[in-house]
Amino acid sequence: MTKPDKITDKVRLQDAQALAQGYSPAIRAMEIASIVSFVALEGVLAYKLWSTHHTGPWMLTLAVVLGYLAADFVSGFVHWMGDTWGSTEMPVLGKAFIRPFREHHVDEKAITRHDFVETNGNNCLVSLPVAALAVAVPLNGPGWVFLAAFLGAMIFWVMATNQFHKWSHLDAPPAIIHFLQRVHLILPPDHHRIHHTAPFNQYYCITVGWMNRPLRMIHFFPLMERLITFVTGQLPRQDDIGTEAAQALVAVDDATEVPVLQAAKELLKASTEESAPSVSSRSSP
């Protein structure tokens, strides 16, 4: 079996300067328009929620907390997709979405040099469909109000994810930000540093990071990768870390059983061992 340190030795890093140059004026204009549209939709939603009588503080608090957890999962899923699949050479998606993920692996501090637009524009763009859906939800009952509030909270935290992510890479964040990181209410630097260990294949959730350990325990992302590779034949992380390292990593993942499967095999083995004596005693003369 290939050891993790051997995989790290095989990792091929891309050129940081070439990746940074992929941020074009057209992409920036798209990000500015996305931020303006996102703020407008969230403002309309907040006004609608404020105006309805089918609401209360506990309902809104629950919607905000569940939205935070959902945003953490969404951030991990999108991060995993951007890190693992596709190429920076793909039309539109390659330059606008995949490029920032690949740049971040070779230049972690690049995000700290990005202004508000470059930091948050992409997340606003991907949040627009959900924002429009939340505004369209009819607020004619508590259930619908909760759904609209949950969707609005989730995409607000999704929008804030890259800002939290940026703060986790600052050498000296503001005092209030450092406190929130220390009590793990936003993404802490030490927690996120686990992801930045080549080959960059774990701890993808970057809103707050609460979902990283549960998803790792159930091997969520390796199982998704096996499924996609089985269906498409594509090799995960090939464009990001190179073919040799990607193949070695797949070999390690294939040799590692999911804990649920390990437990099931142990239970089956124990059950077989317990039933064996009784079977042999009935068969003896």
pLDDT per residue over 44-67, tens digit each?
999 999 988 877 788 889 999 999
Largest interatomic CA distance in the chain: 88
Q: How far is CA 280 from CA 44, 61, 268, 270, 283, in A?
A: 74, 61, 18, 16, 5
Is residue 192 a contact partner of residue 165, using CB atoms and an 8 Å limit?
A: yes
Is residue 202 a contact partner of residue 216, using CB atoms and an 8 Å limit?
A: yes
- The predicted-structure confidence for 69-101, as pLDDT tens digits, reads as follows 999 999 999 999 888 888 777 777 776 778 777
pTM, entire model:
0.77
**Predicted confidence band of residue 285 (pLDDT cuts 50, 70, 90):** very low
Closest to 212 measured CA to CA, from 191, 242, 190, 229: 191
**Predicted confidence band of residue 116 (pLDDT cuts 50, 70, 90):** very high
Tell me the mean pLDDT in the region 11-30: 64
Residue with tokens 């080549």: 198
Which structural domain range is residue 199 located in? 4-281
pLDDT > 90: what percent of the chain?
47
Question: Which string of b and e fits 78-92 if b means at least 16 CB within 10 Å?
Answer: bbbbbbbbbebeeee
Lookup: tokens for 124 = 């606003």
Q: How far apart are CA 140 and CA 206, in angstroms?
A: 35
Q: Given this model, what pLDDT does residue 284 score?
A: 46
Q: Given this model, what pLDDT does residue 280 score?
A: 46
Is residue 154 a contact partner of residue 67, using CB atoms and an 8 Å limit?
A: yes
Structural domain count, the chain = 1
Helices 142-168 and 116-136: angle between axes, nearest 10 degrees: 170
Q: How far is CA 47 from CA 135, 139, 284, in A?
A: 10, 12, 80
In sign, the C-alpha dihedral spanning 116, 119, 122, 125 is: negative
Residue with tokens 């080959």: 199
DSSP for 163-231?
A: HHHHHHT-SS--HHHHHHHHTTSS--HHHHHTTTSTT--S----SS-TTHHHHHHTTHHHHHHHHHHHH
**Predicted confidence band of residue 236 (pLDDT cuts 50, 70, 90):** confident
The overall average pLDDT reported for the chain is 83
Residue with tokens 């802490």: 188
102: burial class by Cβ within 10 Å (0-12, 13-18, 19+)? buried
